[in-house]
Structures are given as structure tokens and as C-alpha cells.
Structure 1
Amino acid sequence: MMNKLVLVLLLVTQSAVAAVRLPALIGDRMVLQRDIELKIWGWANVDEKVTVRFQGKYYYTEAGSDGKWMVTLPPKKAGGPYVMEINELAIRDVLIGDVWLCSGQSNMETPIERLVEQFPEIDVSNNHMIRYFKVPTQNTVEAIKEDIPRGGVWRSGIASDVMNWTALAYFYAQESYLHNGVPVGMLVSSLGGSAIESWISQEHLKEFPQLLVDQVALDSLRLIQSDKGAENWIKREWNDADWCTANVPGDWRRQGIEVRGVVYFRKEFEMPARMEGRHAKLYMGTMVDSDSVFINGHFVGATSYMYPPRKYHIPAGVLRAGKNNVTVRLRANSGNGSFVEDKIYRVKADDVEVDLTGEWKYKVGIDLAKAKRLSERLQRVKSAGSGLYNGMIYPLRDYGVKGVIWYQGESNTGQPQRYRAYLKTLINSWRTLLHQPNLPFLLVQLPNYMAKQDLPSESGWAGVREAQFKIAQEVAHTALAVTYDVGEWNDIHPLNKKDIAKRLFLGARKVAYGEHIVSDGPRYKNMEMEGNKIILSFTEVGGGLRSKGGAPLRHFAIAGEDKKFVWADAVIKGNTVVVSHPLVKPVAVRYGWSDNPEDANLINKEGLLASPFRTDNW
């Protein structure tokens, strides 16, 4: 009976050890992207066989030498819920539909609970076909990560779950589901206060040297900070023939050991036959600074600072008749380690004492002086790019998505001139990672913020809006949601995420779903000089140019050769806007160029706002 019990326990233990491990994303209530090949992956013991069963079909693979396994499922139509089985694991309530990767900074993270008073329908949400997953924060500049941290789970859009959502993701999912009638998964990987540089891979940041991590120094630092002797130099049988020699007691510097870090010391000693397997005590005086001590490879004690006397118990069964060895891993933080003189260094057991003073062998395990020099080369590592890409985007690379929603820019308004290049690089970086060269990107243009200005002025916020506008013009399969009328002058986190979601989905209908609709407001095309007037032409005029509410056009500014902008008169003529000022011979025009251009009111017949723009490059 006992043998059977042991066998059962052994089998259970082996099963637990051999169980497959899944990435955090693959779990109950997940949404898989429809109409594309689907990758399901995880980790297991090397060569372990893995079977995935889904929709009545089986897919087989086995874990590779690195423990990772992956199967590829053929494209699936929208539907669900389904159950997916992976070996002994069952993943329930799986939907197939459209998955959107949502990223950026705090406005992508605005919790939905803040919007309940403004949008009371949230409280009675009852849509089980929309799902949400929030990627836990993982900022790692030094290296890419294979998986996101644990803690995230897929949540549905029912009332008991919806308060865990972020606001923009919720409203966008509702828009998409109402229009398409297929399940929607919102995969939110964002971090408040983050700059765009953190979301771009090191490979794609090569044209921005100031954002690169000194990889040579980093790799060297890792090597130096790693303990060369760990697990090996403490072994009884380790060959120390090439080690240097030093005397114990004594300090390092007087013996030529110019190291700040970790040094291993070893000494061989003899024990009489009667000491075989007996317990004993080890006296190692006092050491500077901290130590770990091993007898014949067995750990016998450690002290974390310099003052206490080292008295360690050697358990029975460790000592042998004849040759034995003691290994001390000694760490010196100040640069001059020491076995303090006039202390006792010996093994003692009943009537046997073995003196351990005299010649020892040593070898450097960690040289922190070299590490310090390399660390100085890496002082900028935390301000370098790629930390959030490494920890929160790269691990998602095998999870199929329909497109990306990007709401970010506030943290880059201090240097708007760089944002255009950064945003284009980010799009290329993610499309490369996700193996989708035409991956749709939906961009939220920064909303209005801060107090309105009485006179035309320079603006970092306007500069970022311009960069976002130009990328939407230059890069295929992108759409721009213009939002300078839904912000709040005194809150960088405007609550009206519902209208932003509607405008984003309007862009998605065109660039992601191929609908032939007007999804943009008027876009500046070019200008012509005509006497003391400038005539502006536009694309995306839809049914024609209009002013919002029929009011006179506002927020047009004009400048002459002196580059001083003043508010201008602007009128619509057909599908052009004529701008003038009685006292200015104009050479340049700006529209909506301020932190808070809330009053700017050029639209098309479809009611979509014109994006702010300028004709100069001053």
C-alpha cells in the first residue's frame, strides 16, 4: 500500500513539474483575432509534447531546447464562446473577433469609473462580447522580456467587470461591436507619463544615438557583476592550480590584491581518520566585509558585515579523513578586504585542532572597480529609449491584432520638433515586430489644454499636433482623430473619451475595414498668394467646407516677412479659405496653432474638424 502511495505521489509530482506554462495573455475570456493565422505558445520541459485542441481539431508540437513551444492555427471566423484545451489545461469562454492594441500614456489609462456621472450608461453595461486586458507595467531598458508580468486578466463588458476597464478602450469597443457585430478585444499596454521614445525598439532607434543603450558596456557590466565563481569555485574537487597565493590573516592591498568586489580564497587541510563524518567548529576570525564559507563544498555559514567573530558549525558528515578544503567567498565594499590579524583561524573538534593560517589560494570573482567605470558609461540608461517596448510590447509580438490605437504626446510637448520622426519610427518598429507592414494605426491628436491665449503664440502642443497630422498624411494605413474641441483647459485628462472613441472608429472604418466614407475633416493641402490675401486649399472636404455653427471662421493667424502673427480675417470660398489682414502683406498662415484652440471652427459638411496646421516652418 505504501509503495502504491509513493508511486501516485511521484506521478502527481512529475505531472505538476511537466505542466505547460502559458503566457499571461492566453487565458479565460481572451479574444483571438479573426481571419488570420493564430499563434498559441507557451513553455514546458524540453522535448515535452504539447497538444492544443480547438473547435474539434488537434494541433501537435513539442517544447524546444529553450522550453518554448508554439502551434499555428488556421484563420478562424468570428464567433464564440469556445473552449481551448492545451494538454491538461482548459481555457474557457474564448471569443474570436477583432483585437486592438491600445498604447500611450495616461489618457489611454483614464479609469472608466471617473466617467460614470457624465455617461451613466456605463453603470448598466451588459456586453459580454467586448473584452479588456491591461498589461501590467514592466519598464526594462536593459533587455527585452519574453513575457509580461503576471496579474493581468481578460475582463468582459458586463456591469460587474466594467469598472476595471479604461475609458477609451470601453467606448471604442462598444462602437466597434455596435457597427460590426463581432467580438472585440481591447489589449491596453500603456503607462502614464511615458514618452514616445520608451515605446520604440533599440533596433529602430539607431538614427537617434542619444537614445541608444551602450550595449557593449551593458554586456560587459553584466559579465563583471556576475560572479565567475558562483556554484563552481566552492566545489571540493575544483582545480585551483592556476590560482594566485596570499597569506591569511592579512589585508588585500598589502598582498597586491587591488580589487573592490568579491574574491574567493581556498585552503586544503588534513583531518585524521577519527574525524571522518564528525561535527566540528570552524573559527575564521573576523573578516572585512562580508563572507560565505564552505567546507568541502557544503555551506557552513555567512556574515553580512565586518564586526562579528566568525564561528561556524560544521555538521556531521561533512568532514573527511585526509584531505579537506575550506572556501571563503569574501566581499569587500571599500576596496581593501581583510582577514583581520591576531584572530583565531582553525578547525576545532574535541581533541583535534587544525591551524588554517598561512598560505591560501585566491581568485577574483567580481571586480566592482571595473563595474563602476562601465556604470559611468551607462548613466543615461534610464533616459534611453525602448524600456516599455522591451517590457510591454515585445512580449505581445505573437498575439494577432487588427490594429493599434495610439494616444500619447503630452510628455513630448517640450521637444515637439522630434516627435514626427519618433512617431514614424514607432509605427515602423511595431509593424516590423508584429509582421504586419500595413497594420492600421489610429492616432489621437492632442486635445486642447491650458488657458486660451489672447494673441497668436508658439506652442509645444501645437507642434506635436502638427507632427501627428503630418504622419497621418505621409504614412499609409493611418487615421487621425482630431480632438481640440473635447479637451478641458484645466485638466490634462479630459473626460469625454466617448467622442474620441467615435472619431477613432470612424477612421478605423476607412483604414482597417475598407469602407468608402468621409472619415477626416479638411486637411490643408497648399497655399497661393493673391495680392494681400492667401488662398488655402484642402483635401478631405467631403460635401464642402463649413464653419461650425455657421459662425465666422476663427483661429486663423497671418504673418508678413517680420514673422509676427496676428489674428486674421478668414472666409470660405467654395472649397478654399481666403485669409487676409488689412495691415499685413502676408507670407504665412497658421490655423489652430496654440495650446488651446478650442474656438477653431473649420469643418466639412460631415461635421469633422479640420486639423490645425501652418504654412511656415519657422
Structure 2
Amino acid sequence: MKKIITSVLVCLLMTSWSSAKVILPSFFANGMVLQQQSQVNFWGKSSNPSKTLSISTSWDKKKYEVTVDAEGKWKTKLATPKAGGPYTITINDGNNFQLREIWIGEVWLVSGQSNMEMPVQGFKDQPVLNSSEIFKNATNKNIHVFRTIKEAKGIAVDNMRGNWQVADSAAIRLFSAVGYLFAVELQQKLKVPVGIIQSAWGGTNISSWMSAETFKDFEKENRYKLKHPDSVIKTDRNAPTALFNGMINPLVGYGIRGVLWYQGEHNHREPDFYAKVFPVMIKDWRTRWGIGDFPFYYVQLAPNESVKDGEQISLSALFREMQYNTQFAVPNTAMSVTLDAGEQKVIHPANKPAVAKRLAAIALNQTYGFKEIAYAGPSYKSFTVKGNQLTLSFDNAEKGLKAFTTPSVNFELAGTDKVFHPAKAQIKGNTVILQSDQVKKPIAARYGFKMWVMGDLYNTEGLPASSFRTDDWFAPSYGKK
């Protein structure tokens, strides 16, 4: 009888162990890229009745013993080496479960609204510049992409849908053009595997991408109100916190080098509000990831003709000004200028290669230490007045300035009446001398400070200046640099 009981128990135990199941988030999968030379988080769930499991990494033959909590959850940190691969990760909770084709390299998260989501194949009647060449050259197996499925949630969830793919012409067809082209620039320079995680959704406001804990402090001054559902439900993509809940929270903790952000069109008439919440959102994301002030690089709102803008002054121009100033107020941030890369009648400009190249230049200089790579265009410094001329001085123009159109058509001058008139611009070294027959005693200047403009001022490295003004008339609360 004892033998029978023992046999039954052994059978039950073997059955229990054989049915043990490891469940991993979708981004821990074959073909993934892990951040190099880091302690990367690695987590999941298990039905292991012994409440422990082991994880082995092939790159260093190291074995990790991990405790499974009462809810079946487990989490550990894996030490990653210098870039390389492919490797394997083996998980044993009674049965061996192995992840293959694991690469170690550089990982970036790209997020925002439609201009970040805009795929290499473009949108209907809105192409991406040189897309046929991009597809033809998509042969680099060292670039892997992960595109999250768009899901808005009422409360924060732990899981999301998506899969890793080698960035061939088929995989990038629906993948972020900016994200993919940024990866191309990085991989060519760094010569390591690059992983890009896309979590973006068109037509969304910044409130959707904020956590409930951060948004609640700004709810009264925002047109969107926070709801408090009792369960995880699908909700509107513009409901406050909905996209953080469904498309950012599941990713929190995944090892990344930094974030690229391309959002603002939906909030372009709210520069004051955005100036308050944008730094808070960045700080919150960084706090949750727990890896310090990781790089957070973002794209300027591209000029576009809109029927809804400011009356006394362009709200779009104020928004661009706010974005420009943010990079000096928030550590380890920088902006890719797009004043010359917009389209008058199209909200999704085609020149995504320029945006990606400029973001990559920022990352290569600021994150990876290639100081010989220029990453910033001319930056307004100060002005002087002599007679009827106003002279502007610039930083980031040590080798001089250049106007794409000669002379530039985007400068204006104003006198004490605060009425701006077109000004003739003469470039001299790293200065621009302005004069207008309609302004005898100038006291203020502006460059490209309009809703629609095609930027035409560059430094000799070919990087554009952002729109700017020397005055503080109609000054919003966020102030000026």
C-alpha cells in the first residue's frame, strides 16, 4: 500500500513539475536586444510549486537562482557583457525553457504620436522621403525592432503585445521611420546590435502618456479629466494616463539606453500646460526605470499651416520656444530642430531622414562621446543695436553662419510700437545684421516666429537654427531662455 501511495505521489509530483510553465512578457523573446554592460531587469511568472527557478546566460555561463513569490511572479537582474551575440538564456523551473538569438547592444525606446508612429511606408497620400531607397538598403541584421500593439487601458497593466523582428524590408514597412533610421545611423557608427522599441500612437496628447500619480496634480488645468475605473478596460487613447497604462507601464524596467520622443501636435495650443507637465513626465519615467537620468531626446514641433493658432502671437511658435527652452532646464535632454523640415499643408512631413539623422547626431555626441560630430544648430545668444541696425550673435556657429536662401526671408524687426516688419539680413561671421526701412529704431527681432515657416539659417555644419525672439512680449508663464 505504501508503495502505491509513494508511486502516486511521485507521479503527481512529476505531473506538477512537467506542467510548470514560465510566462514572459512579450518583449523577452527570441531575437531581443538587451542593453550592453548593464544590470538589466528580467522578469516573468511561473507556476513552479517549489517557488524557485534558475536562469543561465550563455555569454558568461552564469547561473541565477530566483525566488518565485506567492503570486507566481519573479524578477532578477542579469549582468550583460559588451555588445555581441547571438546568445541564449535558459530558464529552468522543472522544465528547461530557452530563449535564442539574444543580442547584446544598444536599446532605445521611441514614443509619441503620429509623427513617431509614421512608418517607413508612410501614411495614405503622405510618403516618407526616399522610402524606396530605405527599403532597398534594409539588409542590416544587426538592427532589431519591436513594435507594440496600440492599447489604451483604464489602469496600469503589466503585459502588452508585440514581437521582435530583424529589421528587413518587410519588418520596417509598418515600423517607425524615425526610429528605424535612427537605429541605422547608430549601428553604422557604433558597429553593435541596436534594438528599437516603438510605443507610439497618432493623435494623442501628452496627458495620455503620463502616469496617474503625476497627472493628478495637473488635472484641474487640463481639458481631459482623469477617470478612476475599477478594472482593466479598454478606453479612449486620449483619456489621461491611458497610454502610459497600456503601452509604457509594461515596459518599465526593460534595459534601455534612452528615449526618443516625438509628440506635441495635439498640444500645440497649450505651451504653458506642456511646459509644466513635460519635465514632470520625463522625471517620472526616469524614476520608474531606476537607471538615473537616462538620455531623453525629442523632436521639435514642425512648422505647419493650421487654421487654429494664436491671435496676437502664434501659439505654434510659442510651443516651439517652450520645447527649445526645455532642453536647458531638464538634464540630459536635447531637441532635434525641424524648422526647415515641415510641410505647409501636411501635419506629417516627409523628411523623416533629417529628423532621424539629427537625433542620431545628438545621441552620438552627447551619449556616446563622439564630440567631433556636430549636433546643435545656431543658438541665439544676444543682440546689440546701433542706429537703425540690430545685430544678433549666436552660439554653435564658431565657423560661421549660412543662409539656405540668400538673403534669409525669415527675420523681422520691431520698434517701440511692437509691430514687426520684414528685415533684410546680412550674415557676418557668427552674427546677423538686420535692417528694415519700416523700423528706424529697432528694439526687438524675431526669426521664423510664425505658425508656418521654412527655416533657412544654418551653421556651417549644416544644422538649422530654431525659431526664436529677442522680446518677451506676450510672454507665457514658462518664460524665456
TM-score, length-normalised on structure 1? 0.67
Secondary structure of 2:109's aligned partner: strand
Comparing 485-494 and 28-37, the one that deviates more:
485-494
3-state SS of paired residue (1:586):
coil
- Could you tell me which residue of structure 2 aligns to residue 295 of structure 1? none
Q: Which amino acid aligns with 2:199?
A: S
Evaluate the alpha carbon distance shift between residue 207 and residue 7 of structure 1 in structure 2; reply closer, same or farther with a 3 A threshold. Answer: closer
Alignment-mate amino acid for residue 569 of structure 1: K
- Counterpart CA distance in 2 for 1:162 and 1:394 is 24
Counterpart residue type for residue 590 of structure 1: R
User: Is the counterpart of residue 181 in structure 1 residue 186 in structure 2?
Assistant: no
Contact 2:339 2:465 in 1 (8 A): no
What amino acid sits opposite 2:244 in the alignment?
Answer: Y
8 A contact 1:479–1:508 mirrored in 2: no
Deviation of 1:416 after TM superposition, in Å, equals 2.4
Equivalent residues in 2 for 1:295-306 (5 A)? none
Q: Distance in 2 between matches of 1:8 and 1:113?
A: 57
Task: Determine whether 1:147 maps to 2:149.
Answer: no
- Tell me, what secondary structure is at the counterpart of 2:65? strand
Q: Report the equivalent of 1:520.
A: 376
1:98 aligns with 2:110: no
Larger Rg over CA atoms: 1
State the partner residue of 1:286.
none
Q: Of residues 28, 38, 63 in structure 2, which corresponds to 1:58? A: 63
Please say if 1:49 is aligned against 2:52: yes
Equivalence for 1:347: none
Aligned to 1:78: 83
For these two proteins, the number of residue pairs brought into alignment is: 450
Deviation track 1:519-542 (CA, whole Å, cap 9, x = no partner) reads 110011223333333322221114
- Per-residue Cα deviation, 1:418-465 (whole angstroms, up to 9, x for no partner): 22222222221211111233211111112232389xxx9832322221
Displacement of 1:572: 2.1
Distance, in Å, in 1 between the alignment partners of 2:91 and 2:370 is: 38
Residue 112 (structure 1) aligns with:
120
CA contact (8 A) 2:208 2:237 kept: no
Distance of aligned partners of 1:82 and 1:568 in 2 relative to their CA distance in 1, 3 Å threshold: same
Residue 568 of structure 1 deviates from its aligned partner by 1.5
Q: Secondary structure at the match of 1:18?
A: coil
In structure 2, what is the equivalent of residue 318 of structure 1?
A: none
CA contact (8 A) 1:27 1:154 kept: yes
- Tell me how far 1:404 sits from its aligned partner: 0.7
Q: Which moved more, 1:506-515 or 1:586-595?
A: 586-595
Aligned with 1:433: secondary structure? helix
Confirm or deny: 8 A CA contact 2:116 2:178 kept in the other structure. yes
Q: Displacement of 1:51 after TM fit?
A: 1.2
Distance apart, 1:479 and its partner CA: 2.1
**How does 1:434-513 map onto structure 2 within 5 Å?**
434-450=289-305, 458-513=313-368
State the alpha-carbon separation in 1 of the partners of residues 143 and 394 from structure 2. 38
Question: Where does residue 74 of structure 2 map in the other structure?
Answer: 69
1:272 alignment counterpart: none
Distance change >3 Å, CA 18–CA 566, structure 1 → 2: same
Structure 1 residues 528 and 206: CA distance shift in structure 2, 3 A: farther
Task: Give the Cα–Cα distance (whole angstroms) in 2 for the partners of residues 117 and 548 of structure 1.
Answer: 20
User: Is the 1:403–1:512 contact (alpha carbons within 8 Å) kept by the matching residues of 2?
Assistant: no
Alignment of 1:119-158 (within 5 A): 119-124=131-136, 125-140=138-153, 142-148=154-160, 150=161, 152-158=162-168
Provide Cα deviations, 1:155-211, integer angstroms capped at 9, x if missing partner. Answer: 111234332422112211111111110000001111111111221223333542426
Check the 8 A contact 2:317/2:450 in 1, yes or no.
yes
Any idea what SS the aligned residue of 1:499 has?
A: helix
Taking a change above 3 Å as real, the CA distance of residues 66 and 411 of structure 1, as seen in their structure-2 partners, is same
After TM superposition, which residue ranges in structure 1, 4 or more long, deviate above 6 angstroms?
Answer: 3-9, 211-215, 380-383
Q: Which amino acid aligns with 1:130?
A: I
Any idea what SS the aligned residue of 1:127 has?
coil
Question: What is the rounded CA distance, in whole Å, between the counterparts of 2:329 and 2:383 in structure 1?
Answer: 19
State the alpha-carbon separation in 2 of the partners of residues 66 and 441 from structure 1: 34
Q: Which moved more, 1:562-571 or 1:176-185?
A: 562-571
Q: Kindly state the Cα deviation for residue 16 of structure 1 after the two structures are TM-superposed.
A: 6.2
Cα distance in 1 for partners of 2:288, 2:257 equals 14
Amino acid at match of 1:587: I
The residue type paired with residue 52 of structure 2 is K
Q: Cα offset for 1:7?
A: 8.9
Q: Is the 8 A contact 1:441 1:478 kept in 2?
A: yes
Q: Does 1:426 align with 2:434?
A: no
Matched, 1:540 2:396: yes
Given the superposition, is the C-alpha separation of residues 587 and 197 from structure 1 closer, same or farther in structure 2, using an over 3 Å criterion? farther
Greater strand fraction, Structure 1 or Structure 2:
1
Tell me, yes or no, if the aligned pair for 2:128 and 2:351 is still in contact at 8 Å: no
| 2-structure distance, mates of 1:415, 1:451 | 14
Distance 2:367 2:414 in 1: 40
Task: Report the CA distance between 1:36 and its aligned residue.
Answer: 1.2
Amino acid at match of 1:526: S
Q: Write the distance in 1 (CA, Å) between the matches of 2:97 and 2:398.
A: 53
Matched residues in 2 for 1:5 and 1:109: separation?
A: 58
1:568 to 388, 404, 423: 423
Cα offset, 1:381, TM superposition: 10
2:453 aligned with 1:597: yes
**Aligned partner of 1:401 among 256, 266, 269:** 256
Partner amino acid, structure 2, of 1:423: F
Partner of 1:377: none
Percent of residue pairs bearing the same amino acid type = 38
Opposite residue 159 of structure 2, the aligned amino acid is D
Please give the TM-score of this superposition, normalised by the length of structure 2.
Answer: 0.85
Is the CA contact 2:121–2:131 (under 8 Å) kept in the aligned structure 1?
Answer: no
From 370, 386, 393, the counterpart of 1:530:
386
Task: Tell me if structure 1 keeps the 8 A contact 2:151–2:247.
Answer: yes
Deviation of the 1:101 alpha carbon: 0.6
Rounded to whole Å, the distance in 1 between the matches of 2:62 and 2:254 is 20
**Unmatched tracts of structure 2, length 5 or more:** 475-481
Q: Which residue of 2 aligns with 1:341?
A: none
The change in CA–CA distance for 1:402 and 1:117 in structure 2 (over 3 A counts) is closer
User: What residue is the counterpart of 1:235 in the other structure?
Assistant: none
> How far 1:544 moved relative to its partner?
1.6
Report the counterpart of residue 479 of structure 2 in structure 1. Answer: none
In structure 1, how many angstroms separate the alpha carbons of the residues matched to 2:357 and 2:237?
37
Give SS of 1:162's match: coil
d(CA) in 2 for partners of 1:184, 1:533: 50
Shift in Å at residue 119 of structure 1?
3.0
Please say if 1:161 is aligned against 2:174. Answer: no
Q: In structure 1, the residue corresponding to 2:98 is in which secondary structure?
A: strand
User: Do the aligned partners of residues 385 and 396 (structure 1) sit closer, same or farther apart at CA in structure 2, a change above 3 Å counting?
Assistant: same
CA contact (8 A) 1:555 1:567 kept: yes
Closer/same/farther in 2, CA of residues 415 and 143 from structure 1, 3 Å limit: same
Q: What secondary structure sits across from 1:94 in the alignment?
A: strand
Quote the Cα distance in structure 2 between the aligned partners of 1:121 and 1:556.
Answer: 36
User: Hey, what does 1:210 align to over in structure 2?
Assistant: 220
Q: RMSD over aligned Cα, in angstroms? A: 3.0
Deviations 1:226-265 (A, max 9, x none): xxxxxxxxxxxxxxxxxxxxxxxxxxxxxxxxxxxxxxxx
Closer, same or farther in 2 for the Cα pair 1:122/1:605, shift >3 Å? closer
Residues 90 and 97 of structure 2 are in contact (CA less than 8 Å); yes or no, is this contact kept in structure 1? yes
C-alpha distance 406-116 of structure 1, shift in aligned 2 (>3 A): closer
Q: Distance in 2 between matches of 1:214 and 1:169?
A: 31
Please show how residues 380-395 of structure 1 align to structure 2 within 5 Å. Answer: 385-395=240-250
Distance 2:275 2:72 in 1: 41
**Residue by residue, what CA displacement relative to the aligned partner does 1:488-528 show, whole Å, maximum 9, x if unpaired?**
22221122211211111001112211221321100112233
1:24 aligns to what? 26
8 Å Cα contact 2:145-2:165 kept in structure 1 = yes
CA deviation digits over 1:260-297, x for unaligned, max 9? xxxxxxxxxxxxxxxxxxxxxxxxxxxxxxxxxxxxxx
Residues 116 and 138 of structure 1: is their aligned pair in 2 closer, same or farther, counting only changes over 3 Å? Answer: closer
| Distance in 2, Cα, partners of 1:159 & 1:579 | 49
Relative to structure 1, the CA distance from residue 404 to residue 41 in structure 2 (aligned partners, 3 Å threshold; closer, same or farther) is same
Q: Which moved more, 1:507-516 or 1:404-413?
A: 507-516
